[in-house]
Amino acid sequence: MAVMKQSVTAKKKKDLKPKKKKKKTNMASVNSDEWRAICEKFTNAQNLTEVESLHDPENDPFRSKYKARELLREIYCSLKSFEAVEGEEDSGGESGDQRPEQPVDGQREDGFGDGLSGDSPAGLRVAKLGAVEYYLGVNHVDTEELSAGQEHLMNCVKLLEKCRVSSDNVSLFIHVRNQLGILWAGRDETEEAQGFLETAESIYQRYMKEDGSPPTDMTEYFSAEENKLTHQERTKRFELAYTHSMYYLAQVYKNLGQTERAATYCHSTLQRQLQLNQYNPMEWALNAATLSQYYITKGRYMEGRHCLAAATVISGLAGEVPSEAAAQESETECERREQLRQKRAEIARCWIKYCLNLLQDAKKLLEDNIGELDTDRQEELKNARRLEEEEEEKGRKSALLFGSEDTFDSIASLEEKVHCLFPLDFTEARAVFLVGQNYITQAKDYFQMDGYVTDHIEILQDHSALFRALAFFEEDLERRCKMHKRRVDMLEPICNELNTQYYLMIRRQLMFELAETYNEMMDLKLTLANRQADTQSLDNHTIKKFNHLCSASAKYFQMFLDSLCSPEGKFPEHLEEEVLRPALVARFRVARLHSRLISSSPPVQLDNLNRALENYKYVVQYCEAHPEAGAAVETELELSTEMVGLLPLKINRLKARMAANN
């Protein structure tokens, strides 16, 4: 640091009064005792904040940070005393660079215009005072004194308004805006936070374009010359500050509903963390896995797969899960075991969603208007597959890929084991299903029924959905029926065991899914029976099986409807929006199922037809009383209206036949 020059005015005074030569303290002298004392206080304040505070007692959690605050205040007072002696002398030479007073909001990228030169004595004084204000601001925020913290941070911004952005202060320009962004985001003032963070981003980008040299880190303002950072370390810290800007902007854009922009920033943040080697493996992996879910919802399966493969590989860097024996002996190992198992299970659940959505989206692409496999469409897509694979390779080359030299190959190897293109036949679908089923096993190992009821059931529901999606690709109807039977076997015991008082919503979901599953099995059996009827009549075993599936489906639909009743058993006159469609569909299905039951007994047939008519009428009458409900069940309402007209004729014919026989 160059020694400050005295102003012309000061020289004249000395000529006039040489005997009153004033001895002054020189802040620029890094070897002075006063300056070394300041540097030592700053080092102590940093140690109290970053190290000692971790060991503060629960009844005095901010003890070390309060001590650090006092040291920072002392540093501030010392700097102000230096400024009082030297400030007037230097201001004459710098006044031409001063900008007119402007309102300060910290959200303008105007630090590159006029102002004090960052490396001038006055500019460095301002930066040092600003840095102390910054650290005092962070200190107050850490001790939950947000208003005081905001005041100190804005004082820092106001001081920096006097300076041009340079390598000597750009780091402080960005850090203080990051902190203000965090502060306002914590108050749910998202747009205010956005302003500060976007300004930090634009300052970084313009600095890198116009200068780009490794900038001074704020801690170096109070370091002895021999403790200055290397260019490599300066660059790393500066890039990390910008990475934080991107991370917080990702959260801001997410809260503003700008999901695509949020995902882009999140992806870039994760990539930069890997490049800088500044990340916690499990936290990074969970963030990458979470990001995959965004890509999946957008149908961008290549990016989703890449995020999940990277998450799995990076999570492995956290090491092996401690054994139960080790966990029992050490509280630290116990916590580590719990954390690793939980986060890896959560990553497994993200893989499950990937596989499930890939199968379901492929099904939507391939099904015809009655929900069966469209073979013409299948052939068309298979012919287009080669072009699709070429596009995938181009997309991969242009994508922002995760990984370093140590992990890139491992990530790519894992990606190769999982498809990211839509499966077009049973073989391809089964490969995706098996990957998903493997992660089902991993997730259930942690999220067990004892302790994680909701999570465990959600995983079982995903497993059931995987079987349902795979069944679509199976051409053999008997095998398809067995897949649905697997779904029943995993869901039925849980549904019957759950306590309705505590898990009503989950039970309703399970009831409805079981009813639909039995219904699908019944339709498959009916299709098989119709094929058999072409050559021979239905045997008693087939009829019994068909009726069993029919009754089981009707039973679970009725259980769902009964769960909507009041404690007195009265069905609601008005259905809430969240149960409107399920309730009307359940009524429609119960009607349809009763009309399909096979019986040789006319009285039983009559009873079934009457019950069917009763439920068809309910759908029609409810929609007449609540016209807005019709839009939720257009198809069911149309068929119900038709059946309300036809069934009475069928019932009357049956009654006439019964009367004639009697």
Q: What is the pLDDT of residues 126-141, one digit of tens each?
A: 999 999 999 999 999 9
pLDDT-wise least confident of 23-37, 128-142, 287-301, 512-526: 23-37
Rounded CA gap, 377 and 385, in Å?
Answer: 12
The pLDDT, as a whole number, for residue 540 is 85
**Partners of residue 367 on adjacent β-strands:** 373
Residue 8 above 50 pLDDT?
no
Rounded CA gap, 526 and 543, in Å?
Answer: 10
Residue 636 above 90 pLDDT?
yes
What's the average model confidence in pLDDT over 373-389?
Answer: 85
Nearest to 389 by CA among 367, 411, 419: 419
Residues 6+ apart with CB under 8 A from 450: none
Query: 115 by DSSP, 3-state: which?
Result: coil
What's the average model confidence in pLDDT over 238-254?
Answer: 96
The pLDDT, as a whole number, for residue 257 is 94
Residue 88 above 80 pLDDT?
no
The pLDDT, as a whole number, for residue 385 is 84
What does the H/E/C string look like for 535-604?
A: CCCCCHHHHHHHHHHHHHHHHHHHHHHHCCCCCCCCCCCCCCHHHHHHHHHHHHHHHHHHHHCCCCCHHH
Q: Write phi, then psi, for 512 (nearest 5 degrees).
A: -65, -45
The pLDDT, as a whole number, for residue 31 is 63
Q: How confident is the model at residue 227 (pLDDT cuts 50, 70, 90)?
A: confident
* CATH for 33-83+116-278 (1.25.40.10, 1.10.580.10, 3.40.50.300, 3.40.50.2000): 1.25.40.10
The pLDDT, as a whole number, for residue 107 is 55
Residue 401 above 80 pLDDT?
no
Q: How confident is the model at residue 4 (pLDDT cuts 50, 70, 90)?
A: very low
User: What does the domain layout of the chain look like in residue ranges?
Assistant: 33-83+116-278, 476-570, 572-661
Give CA 625 to chain center in angstroms.
Answer: 42
The dihedral over CA atoms of 81, 84, 89, 91, expressed in degrees to the nearest 10, equals 110
The pLDDT, as a whole number, for residue 344 is 97
Nearest to 544 by CA among 473, 619, 599, 464: 599
Residue 500 above 60 pLDDT?
yes
Rounded CA gap, 309 and 313, in Å?
Answer: 6
Please say whether the beta carbons of 335 and 308 come within 8 A: no
Instruction: Provide the mean pLDDT of the chain.
Output: 88
Nearest to 414 by CA among 320, 311, 341, 321: 311
Rounded CA gap, 358 and 3, in Å?
Answer: 68
Residue 109 above 90 pLDDT?
no
Q: How confident is the model at residue 113 (pLDDT cuts 50, 70, 90)?
A: low
The pLDDT, as a whole number, for residue 29 is 59
Around Cβ 410, how many Cβ atoms within 10 Å?
Answer: 17
Q: How confident is the model at residue 91 (pLDDT cuts 50, 70, 90)?
A: very low
Q: Which helix (H) or strand (E) holds 506?
A: helix 504-533
What's the average model confidence in pLDDT over 345-356?
Answer: 98
pLDDT-wise least confident of 91-95, 184-188, 259-263: 91-95
pLDDT-wise least confident of 63-72, 173-182, 292-301, 386-395: 386-395
Q: How confident is the model at residue 534 (pLDDT cuts 50, 70, 90)?
A: low
The pLDDT, as a whole number, for residue 402 is 83
Residue 96 above 50 pLDDT?
no
Around Cβ 594, how many Cβ atoms within 10 Å?
Answer: 21
The pLDDT, as a whole number, for residue 394 is 67
| DSSP letter assigned to residue 312 | H
Residue 434 above 70 pLDDT?
yes
- The widest CA-to-CA distance across the chain, in whole angstroms, is 140
Rounded CA gap, 289 and 310, in Å?
Answer: 8
Residue 101 above 80 pLDDT?
no
What's the average model confidence in pLDDT over 545-560?
Answer: 96
Query: 163 by DSSP, 3-state: which?
Result: strand
The pLDDT, as a whole number, for residue 398 is 60
Query: 141 by DSSP, 3-state: which?
Result: helix
